[in-house]
Amino acid sequence: MNFDRLPKFDELPIKEGAPPDSNWGVFGEDDQIGCLNFLTPESIVEAARLVRKGEVFRLDLPVGYVDPPILNRPPVQHTITRFPVLLAHDDKLDEYNTQEGSQWDGLGHVGHPAYNAFYNGVKPEEIVSGPDGKLGIHLWADKIVGRGVLLDAFKFRNEQGRPVDPGAPEEYTVADLQQAAEARGVDLKPGDILLVRTGWLQHYAKASPEEKRRTGTVNGLRACGLDHSREMAAWLWDHRIAALATDCPAVETWPWKDYRSEALHYRTLALLGLPLGELFDLEALATDCAQDGVYEFMLVSAPLNLRGGIASPANALAIK
């Protein structure tokens, strides 16, 4: 597919009856993987060339690190069970929510309330567990491999003398991201898996137990993030970003300004089919990028092969 021929954001939608600012139909009537279509065999081969020093960065937090998990999700219970006959053990995870920590939001996670639909017009009743479930996370099981790029927006804003308070719903704009890229000589390319460090996770690491308890609740959570503007959606689409992940809880700020129509979740997951990664651990990677001045790497993520699944632990590695 020649991505240059795809419509620009201002030319969307291309399909009659599709919502404004949606790319529904661009990757096909029945497409279910959205912007992951930007990842091609050629881009995977290119990404492999970015492995130069043999360093591997795990991008997910340990399971159970965010304690309690945010947005009232239950904490996972891990027990080790003893095998009856052999000297052997198994694991048992109870109450495991695939979004308890570092995670991908699948395209069945959030739909657009104004259209009562998910990406590409999928209806809520089509999102079901099992192989017939539309937009299931299993469709990504072998898809997320490509060139990762880190923008350390938190560091950039600090250096600018315009620090962001990660524990408040303060926004990063398109201009912040664009300038953070330019400051480090990063050129975005079609098919990039874009990682944005917002500073939220290093803030959370220093929080008191009381603050962490408050952070776990829907009403108590306060977090910085990307702004939810039309301009942001346009910038992501026109750069042909394949997936976007950050170190904050919702990619965009929390609480959202408008739960009815304006959230970045609606603009990306529902209207563009752009996967969102949340609570990615970008700390060690950001330190390394600052040291060697290289902000690109191979990124490999193998989501759960859960048929009809809604989301997945990130299971992500950046390899330099």
Using CB under 6 A, list all residues that contact ligand UVW: 71, 99, 105, 109-110, 249-250, 265, 278
* Identity of the residue, 115 or 200, whose beta carbon is nearer to ligand UVW in the bound complex: 200
Q: How far is the CB of 250 from ligand UVW (least distance, A)?
A: 4
Give the nearest residue (CB) to ligand UVW. Answer: 250
Q: Could you tell me which residues are beta bridge partners of residue 91?
A: 80
Query: Hey, which bits of the chain come out as E strands?
Result: 56-58, 77-82, 89-94, 103-105, 144-151, 171-172, 193-196, 225-226, 243-246, 276-278, 296-301, 311-313, 316-319
CB 110 → ligand UVW: shortest distance, Å? 6
Closer Cβ to ligand UVW, 238 or 262, answer by number: 262
Nearer residue to ligand UVW within complex by CB, 47 or 251: 251
Minimal distance, residue 44 CB to ligand UVW, in Å:
27
Edge-to-edge strands, sheet with 296-301: 56-58, 316-319, 296-301, 144-151, 193-196, 243-246, 276-278, 103-105, 311-313
Closest CB to ligand UVW among residues 43, 102: 102
Contact 19, 112 (CB under 8 A): yes
**Cβ 16 to ligand UVW shortest distance, Å:** 30
SS (H, E, C) 281-316: CCHHHHHHHHHHCCCEEEEEECCCCCCCCCEEECCE
Q: What minimum distance in Å lies between the beta carbon of 252 and ligand UVW?
A: 8
Comparison of 44 and 71: residue with beta carbon closer to ligand UVW: 71
